Amino acid sequence: MNPLRVRAVHKGASTDITADEIWITLSNGIEFVLRNDAYGSLGAHIPCTPDNDEFAVFVVRPGASNVLVLNAERHACKSQRDSGG
């Protein structure tokens, strides 16, 4: 599998890197990772463990015909007691 090629730009200065994974932290503190797969697609994953009190989900909104707005938000995990189980 070919690595991802990334151009990061900060204050007008760009840096080109190759990476197997790209970890991104949003301004709300939610972290997700981008990985390419064997078919050339880019997968986005929010790490989570079963003992977390909350989980994050992606929020995807359309923009222009060639724009996708990607964000994430947190939600509390319900316990069995909260759900009546």
Residue 82: the pLDDT is 53
CA count, 13 A, side-chain hemisphere, 67: 4
Q: What is the pLDDT of residues 6-30, one digit of tens each?
A: 999 999 999 999 999 999 999 999 9
Residue 28: the pLDDT is 93
**C-alpha 79: how far from its chain's center?**
25
| pLDDT at residue 1 greater than cutoff 90 | no
Does 84 or 22 have the greater pLDDT score?
22
**Full 3-state SS string of 42-74:** EEEECCCCCCCCEEEEEEEEECCCCCEEEEEEE
**Per-residue pLDDT band at 81 (split at 50, 70, 90):** low
Q: What is the pLDDT of residues 29-70, one digit of tens each?
A: 999 999 998 888 999 999 988 888 889 999 999 999 999 999
CA distance 34 to 1: 14
Q: Can you give the pTM of this predicted structure?
A: 0.75
**Alpha-carbon dihedral sign for residues 56, 20, 8, 42:** negative
Residue 13: the pLDDT is 98
